[in-house]
A and B are shown apart, each in its own frame.
Chain A
């Protein structure tokens, strides 16, 4: 613990039982080259403000719990280091989500949107006795990047359209849905396309691309959404053709 330095962090505090609105509080923390923002928050909770609330679990960018805004940028607190902010930093709860308390946001709508996209294998009738469902490297490469998502929500905190359009399911949910649409073991596309095609779906995206910049796992949600748009447009044309066919059949019948 030699050579610990001091840094001032501004942390957004909000206690709904006491405060009308979030406010900033200054904390002086000790840090060295290996201190992450999560370490700094733990230092504050242990030594300076025991009532500070934040989410965290794995400390190694796997669980996706510790998303916060550092100087206005969505970051995982465990994967962002104080050494890169020698002038100090501002820590706020993730943007575009309602704040519950301090750095904890309400993710219930985010989780509901992910559920709506059904990010799991659907309609595969293989049984355990059939053995493993092997894939070629090419079949896996199609979706593998998008499968890196850890549901941290940073992409949604970054997405201006997620903030502007109430009901937009957001980049995370669409990327996960698209990941299963691309998986050759899955047969659930018909159940996912209605949400992707809808007014709450992929067409809210204006390809700002910030989601991919902030994604801590480089899952590239912006790429997934642009692929989704092409698929949704093809689905639109297919539905028009189907409609015409049905009309003709009705006239013939």
Chain B
């Protein structure tokens, strides 16, 4: 067996997958609670969920960073998982990999663009 084989580039995607899984478990439920339930039912105190306040928050550096990571990390996690599930279903074509990871990459660029121009 060749003992100096080609290095796999999987660590990059595994790191994004791992970060995405962690983010989905820790931060995503909070985001769903706050922006999916509390906000539409206006369950916050006073003007906590007013449009101007949230826009200011979204335009701050930390706000932009949170929105970007909230979109991008679960995306890489999910598409990486779909790619590996399709492999398990014997769809081994490199096209599947290109489609899944390419989709995550493209949507990440779109998200970055959107977040910069909020």
A200 to B52, CA, bound (A): 54
A113 adjacent to B1 (CB under 8 Å): yes
CB-CB under 8 A from A112, the residues of chain B are 1
Q: A115-B1, A164-B88, A206-B84 are in contact. Are A233 and B14 (CB under 8 A)?
A: yes
Contact B3 A194 (CB under 8 A): yes
Interface membership of chain A positions 220-253, coded 1 if the CB is closer than 8 angstroms to chain B and 0 otherwise: 0000000001001100110100000000000000
Q: Is the C-beta of A8 less than 8 angstroms from some C-beta in chain B?
A: no
Interface residues on A, range: 20 to 34
Interface hit among B4-12, B41-49, B110-118? B4-12
Contact across chains for B5 and A200 when beta carbons are under 8 A apart: yes
- Chain B residues positioned under 8 Å from A116 (CB to CB): 1, 3
Bitwise, B49-80 to A at CB < 8 A (1) or not (0) is 00000000000000000000000000000000
Which residues of A have CB within 8 Å of B90?
Answer: 164
Q: Is A198 a contact of B5 with CB atoms below 8 Å?
A: yes
Asked if A233 and B3 sit within 8 Å, CB to CB, the answer is no
Tell me if A's interface is mostly helix, strand, loop or mixed. Answer: helix
- Is A89 at the interface (CB under 8 A from chain B)? no
Does residue B109 face the partner (Cβ distance < 8 Å to A)?
Answer: no
B10 touches A203 (CB 8 A): yes
The 4 closest A-B pairs by CB, nearest first: A203-B10, A198-B5, A236-B11, A233-B11
Q: Which residues of A contact B (CB under 8 A)?
A: 112-113, 115-116, 160, 164, 191, 194-195, 197-201, 203, 206, 229, 232-233, 236-237, 239
- Tell me the B residues contacting A by CB distance below 8 Å: 1, 3-8, 10-12, 14-15, 84, 87-88, 90, 92
Supply 13 further A-B pairs (C-beta < 8 A) apart from A164-B92, A199-B7, A206-B84. Answer: A113-B1, A160-B88, A164-B88, A191-B3, A194-B3, A194-B5, A198-B7, A198-B8, A203-B10, A232-B11, A233-B11, A233-B15, A239-B7
